[in-house]
Amino acid sequence: MSRTLLLTLRYDGSRYHGWQVQQNAVTVQEVFQNALGDLLGTRPDLKACSRTDTGVHADMFCISFETDSRIPCGQFPQALNMRLPRDIAVYGCREVEEGFHARYHCLGKRYVYQILNTKQRNPFYEGRALHYRYPLDEKMLHQAAQQYVGQHNFSGFCSYKSTVEDTVRTVSHCSVERKGDLVTFSVQADGFLYNMVRIMVGTLLRIAQGKFRPDCIPVILEKGDRALAGPTAPAEGLYLSRVLYAFDPLEEQRVTNNFKERE
Q: What ranges do the domains of the chain cover?
A: 3-105, 108-241
Looking at residue 262, what is its pLDDT? 40
Tell me whether domains 3-105 and 108-241 share a fold.
yes
Q: How far apart are CA 202 and CA 10, in angstroms?
A: 25
Looking at residue 258, what is its pLDDT? 45
HSE-up of 182 (CA within 13 Å, CB side)?
Answer: 12
Q: How far apart are CA 197 and CA 113, in angstroms?
A: 8
The CATH architecture annotation of domain 3-105 reads 2-Layer Sandwich (3.30)
Torsion from C-alpha of 185, 191, 195, 201, nearest 10 degrees: -20
Catalytic residue among 53, 59, 137, 181: 53
- Annotation marks residue 38 as catalytic: no
SS3 per residue for the chain: CCEEEEEEEEECCCCCCCCCCECCECCHHHHHHHHHHHHHCCCCCCEECCCCCCCCEEEEEEEEEEECCCCCHHHHHHHHHCCCCCCEEEEEEEEECCCCCCCCCCCEEEEEEEEECCCCCCHHHCCCCEECCCCCCHHHHHHHHHHHCEEEECHHHCCCCCCCCCCEEEEEEEEEEEECCEEEEEEEECCCCCCHHHHHHHHHHHHHCCCCCCCCHHHHHHHCCHHHCCCCCCHHHEEEEEEECCCCCCHHHHHHHHHHHHC
Looking at residue 253, what is its pLDDT? 56
- Could you please state the CATH topology (level 3) that the domain comprising 108-241 is classified under: Alpha-Beta Plaits (3.30.70)
Looking at residue 260, what is its pLDDT? 43
Looking at residue 259, what is its pLDDT? 38
Query: What's the chain's length in residues?
Result: 263
All residue ranges of the chain with pLDDT < 70 are 252-263
111 is in an annotated binding site: yes
